[in-house]
Each structure stands twice: as structure tokens, then as C-alpha cells.
A and B are shown apart, each in its own frame.
Chain A
Amino acid sequence: MTTPNPLKPSERMKIPRQEPLEQDAAARSTNFLEVSFGFDMDRTIVEAQRCLDCKTPYCSDGCPVGIDIPGFIRLVLAHDYVGAVRKIREANYLPAICGRVCPQETQCEELCVMGKKLTPVAIGKLERFVADYEMREKLFQPPAITEHREEKVAIVGSGPAGLTCAAELAQKGYRVTIFEALHAVGGVLRYGIPEFRLPKEILDIETERIKALGVEIYTNFVVGRTATIDELFGEWGFSAIFLATGAGTPTFMGIPGEHLSGVYSANEFLTRVNLMGAYRFPDLDTPIRIGKSVAVIGGGNTAMDAVRTAKRLGAEKAYLIYRRSRQEMPARQEEIHHAEQEGIQLLLLTNPVRIIGNGQHWVSGIECQRMELGEPDDSGRRRPVPVQGSEFVLDVQTVVEAIGQKPNPIIQSTTPGLTTSKRGTVVTDETQKTSRQGIFAGGDLARGGATVILAMRDGKQAAAAIHDFLTAKPLA
């Protein structure tokens, strides 16, 4: 196949990495509109020209769902954007989402050869452009489903793992039903990741595309309560079940003062704002409280989203308190960068020890302690140790704890024979099989907190395993 790239490799390497268009930092820190506009068509073409179209594309190895990256970039260069997004969708049913929220710098882009000496190709932004193009021009057509199968498969949870598994199985011809506990679809994509990073309209469109494959979705259905797993197999007649209920239970630090009004888990804070639309109170009914100064505890994507949300809700000062150093922060680079631009103050190597009340049961401050890095711990990261006598008090009226989540135990505790780990995750083998025949699990439920793309990888893998399970010949 002739490559449509007119440039010689040496010329391609001279092109600087394109920068995305973004909303101005001062303006955006007061609104919930999307921060990044991504690439326009010109930038897309220029960026695509940077790709060396490698014989051995390491980039694709870095993508957990194995997108044919040089393949889709070639189609971009041929101006066949719809062809490009169809190529992506062969491996990834939710490109508009991944293009926005994947931590590309530790995945596809980390392995891109251009990154060895120069900067990697902006694969995520290219992916986003073609997905948005298809959406804007309304050129989506659901892939043709050629076979139809009788077996019914239940998917529990409508986050990226569940949606992906549903899309895969529906394309294989299965009758697929998704059960979702909340009143809206999407999991963390709906209630966790804010509008300014992932507009809900995009999620709605992607959800419609899943439905276009014939997938049935029951919202307001808590598996384990509204019906148990064994009832889904029994009276409901499902032949296999994929559990993708995520890691939705918040953990609290266990420091004094957590019962005070004004203290939130990040999940509650973000759910009120994203799922319930509290930023539009009183036009919508769900309230949220925000003080003049807000402290968010944690260093991951969740903490970053919470602190940037607090700023947008009108906090004059928004602090992020993290006990390790910047290097160890698990949040995406782009988000840390955006947060700083928006005036978020990072208090690194700092650990909260106590939340202080004002005598009327409201938060009035948080006492913190400075930390320094000691010996590496189990995770290989240097362990933070407190500096004696370094305590100080920060005046804040709102505290949000974003220190991690664990799986919700409702299903595990109502499903006999399902093996779980000490951390509460459901144990699976490498094909997503659980300890119980016909039950598969993946995403954050199996991994603890991870990423959207890993959840999708698990969803795909589970779909393949379910297909094998349902088509396996019974042993004679």
C-alpha cells in the first residue's frame, strides 16, 4: 500500500507537535464548558504528517485495546476521516471518549518512536478529531450485525467496561441487556468525570450508538437488590453475566472531623455536580455547598476533577493537598497542567491530620503536616514520612476527600461462590473468568481504581471469553 504521506521521514521529524486549541484559563475556571477544543482540521493534518508509519508500530502495543494507529493515521492523511474512525472503532467502540480521557502519555504515546528523541505523535487528539468529525457530520452508521444468536447475556454496570462488552457481544449477535443502578448510563463517565473534560452530550451520543446495536438498557436496577445474580441466571434466563460495577465506594481517611458539615467524599461532591447537576442549583433541585476556600485531598484524576470543579463553583482559593511529590501524582499530565493554569494551588508533600470545626458543626479549617520522601515502599515509590513539628492550619470551609475507592460489595455479598480479594475486588483469571461458571468480571471491579481504557480492554476480553464459553461444545 502506498503511503499517502508526501513528506520524507526527515521532513516529518522537523514538524513540531501541534498544540490543541483551548479555552482561556481565566474564562474557563468560571464555567463548565469543555476546556480543550482538540485539533481543528489543519492541525490534524499537520500532526498526522508527523507519523512515521512504522513497520513495527510500538504505539499500538501501548494501546490496551490495540488500535491500528498508523492505519487510522494513514486514512486521516487521505482525508478519509470517517474511514479512520471506523478503523478505530474496530478495536475501540468509544473513540470520542478515549480521545479525551485516556492517559495517552503513559500508553500509546509513551511508546511512539517519535517520542524517543522528539515528542510523540498526538495520537489521542487525532483520535478525538476523527470521532468528533463523524459526530458533527452525523456520518455514524452502526456496524452491520450478520449473525443472530439466541443466548441472552447480562451486563451489570454501564461504565466503559460494561458498554464495551455490550457493544462487542451485540456485534457478535447476542441478545444483550445492561443493568445500571443509577438513573443514567455511563458509570464514572457520567457521575465522576466533569462536563468540562467530557461533555455529557458526547456520552449520550455514544450511548445511543450502543443502543443502535440492539442493546437493551435497564436503568434504576441494582443487581443484588432489584434482582440477584442467581435470579438473572434463573427466571430472567441469562446464559452469561459480565460484572462491571466499578469501584464506587468511597474511602475516608479516618481523621478527626470527617463528620462535620462541609466534608465530602469526592464521589458525593462530583455526583452532586455531574449526575445531579448541582452547579445549576436552584434551576435543578440538588444543592451543593462550597466555601470561599476549598481543600481537596488526593493526587489522582478524581482529586484533580474535584478541585477544578470547586474552583468553577466559585471557590476563591482551591487547594490540592497531596502527600507525595509531583512526580508521583497519578493524575494525567494534561489535567495537572490545566489545573495549575486555572489557579489551583498544589500543596505537595503535605498530609492532613485533622479537620477543624467552627463550633457549629461546620468546617473552618484543616490541620496539615509537611512530609519528606523516605525509602521506597511496596509500590516502588518513595514513602512520605512526616516532618516533626511542621503542622500548620489552612482556613477552609469545604473539604473533599479523594483518596481512593473500593468496589461496592452489594453483588459480592449476595452471590455465593464469587471469590473476592482482600481489597474487595472480584478475582478473575486473565480471560476475565471469575470463580463462578458463566460469571465474568472486569474494569475497576477487578482492578481497583484503574483507567477507562483498561476497563474497555477488560470488556472486550470478557466478550471474547463469553463468546468462547457460549459456543464451547459440551464435553461428551
Chain B
Amino acid sequence: MFRIIQTRQLAPTITLFEIEAPFVARKRKPGNFIMIRVDEHGERIPLTIADSDPARGTITIIVQAVGKTTKQLCALKAGEAIRDVVGPLGTPTPIQHHGTVVCVGGGVGTAELFPIARALKDAGNTVLSIVGARSHDLIILEEEMRQLSDRLFLTTDDGSYGRKGFVTDQLKDILDAGDGVHAVFAIGPLPMMKAVSVLTRSYNVHTLVSLNTIMVDGTGMCGGCRVTVNGAMKFACVDGPEFDGHAVDFDELMMRNRTYVDLERMADERHACKLAGMTREVIS
């Protein structure tokens, strides 16, 4: 059992958790993730390690409630526990001095980007960050990103905060300014990472993306996370999750990620029904 030390609501559907996991905390590097299982009946799902505190023996994860497992997780409180946590998994992000880098985060992807952006800053890069979301209330980690970035740009789809438009609009302006961008790190929904990769390819700027594939074990054992990169089959959990955005077959991955959509919805609805049933019992 892995105890939850504290939780913090970052946005209406996004929660930060500090969890006791001393072995993971000691070893984690930017880009690593964990697999968790909330309870005995749960599914194993991957979550990025946003931060860690080896001295306290804790790790931080930031979770968006999108389906059964993440909703169940987001309902947990400090003092409660998560059944299984395993990690740190995945190949850490290669951190080096590039010069000027642009870090692009979309939605909860900003949580996955944050540790990488900080490491890039610590490695002496000039870090320009773009944080985007559908609307103002979904922008997360604004202060944290502002502190580590040389410049921070905010965009929302509906214009409720920052610039109205997509992260790629902002990115294009930066690339057009011609100040020499040496690398781009983009993490967010697949369509966003695809759009970023398409854009940066025409500027010939090296782009790293972090792929949200379906995973079961997270250790290279099932092949469920396979993606096509440069025409070759890769396992995102061990060969990635980060890959050269220009080499990834995004369309194929987007189709693969839809494999269980209806079953996921069914599990989610059942979960919601159970919760509703419980409330009814409590009321009556």
C-alpha cells in the first residue's frame, strides 16, 4: 500500500497527489512514469512522475479525471492509500544543453512537461514555455512554469485566458521570429503533439513528444503499447515514452488508442451508477 500524504485540486478535474513511495522517489528522473493500480479490482494505468522528494520519500503525480480509474483515483483523500505503485519506468528524457528550447504543454500534459522543462533549465538552456488548455480553469502549473521559464506564453482555445488560439499558433510565431530555436519538447493530447510535429518539421527543428499509449505492464512485457516510429515497431513503455515527433506515426496511434473506447465508457458509467446508488442509500 502506498499512502497519500496530501492532495491539491489544480483545476476542476485535475488533482495533484503526493504519495509515499521511497524507492521510486530515490531513483526517478525527468521523463519517468509509474504504473498504478488503485485497488484490488483495478486496472493498471501509467502516470508521469511530476516531481519527487527523496528525503521525504515521496513522489508527486498530477492526474486528470477522464475515465473510471482516474476518477476513482481523484476521489481519494490524504491518509488513504493506493494499492500498487511501480516505477520509475520508461527511458528518462535525454537532458542536455541545446541553447534555446521551447517547451509546449497542453492540458494535463503540462504536468508531464514540468519536470522536463525544469531539468532543461537546470542544464543551462534558455527555456521558452507555451502552456495551453481549452479554457482558463484548465490551465495548470502556471506559477511553477513561469518561475522556471525565461518566457511563458499562455493560450486558451476559447480565449478566456492568455492568447486565444492553439499552442501551435504561439509556437509558429516564436519559430518565425527566427531567434534560433534548437529543440522543442511537446506533451499533450495526441492531436496537439501531431500538430506541433508537423509544424516543426517544416522548420527542421528537432522535436521530442511523449506518447500516451495504452499500457498494461509498463515494463516491455505485453507489446500493447507498440507504436510505429520511423517505420519500426517500438514499445512506448521501455523504448519511450518520448520519441522524435517527426518519426512517429500519429494517425496509427490515435486509432490504436480507440480500441477500448466503448468498454471504457461502460466501466466509467457503471462506476458512476454505483456511486449514485451509494448516495441514494445514504440519503434514504
Contact = CB atoms under 8 A, between A and B. Distances in A.
A338 B42 CA distance: 32
B270 to A, nearest CB: 5
A-B pairs, top 4 by smallest CB distance, nearest first, are: A268-B222, A361-B255, A287-B263, A285-B43
Nearest to B45: A285
A219 B89 CA distance: 15
A284 B226 contact: no
Interface stretch (A3-11, A94-102, A248-256): A248-256
Given A225-B89, A259-B252, A276-B43, A285 B69 contact: yes
Interface stretch (B128-136, B187-195, B212-220): B212-220
Given A261-B259, A284-B41, 5 more contacts: A258-B233, A282-B270, A285-B42, A285-B69, A408-B221
5 contacts: A252-B233, A254-B233, A281-B263, A285-B68, A287-B260
B206 interface: no
A183 to B, nearest CB: 4
Interface in A191-246: 219-222, 225-227
Given A181-B86, A225-B89, A276-B43, A250 B221 contact: yes
B223 A259 contact: no
B66 interface: no
Nearest to B252: A259
A410 interface: yes
Nearest to B226: A259
Given A250-B223, A285-B43, A287-B264, A225 B85 contact: no
A183 B222 contact: no
Nearest to B40: A284
Interface string A253-276: 010001101101101100110001
Contact of B221 (A267, A277, A282, A285): A267
Interface residues of A, number: 39
A157 B83 CA distance: 20
A335 B5 CA distance: 50
Nearest to A270: B222
A283 B88 CA distance: 29
B203 interface: no
Contacts of A271: 216-217, 221-222
B70 to A, nearest CB: 11
B23 to A, nearest CB: 5
A185 to B, nearest CB: 13
A188 to B, nearest CB: 11
Contact of A261 (B27, B83, B256): B256
Interface string B4-20: 00000000000000000
A222 B264 contact: no
Interface in A417-464: none
B260 A222 contact: no
Given A282-B270, A408-B221, A221 B23 contact: yes
B65 to A, nearest CB: 15
Nearest to A413: B238
B266 interface: yes
Interface string B150-174: 0000000000000000000000000
A227 B224 contact: no
A221 B84 CA distance: 10
A408 B219 contact: yes
Contact of A249 (B89, B220, B233, B270): B220
B258 interface: yes
A289 interface: yes
A252 B234 CA distance: 11
Contact of B41 (A183, A264, A272, A283): A283
A226 B23 contact: yes
B118 interface: no
A182 interface: yes
A287 B223 contact: no
A286 interface: yes
Contact of B224 (A248, A249, A262, A268): A268
B57 to A, nearest CB: 13
Given A183-B84, A261-B259, A281 B267 contact: yes
Contacts of B270: 282
A31 B259 CA distance: 25
Interface string B36-72: 0100011110000000000000000000000011000
A181 B219 contact: yes
Given A220-B86, A222-B89, A361-B256, A285 B216 contact: no
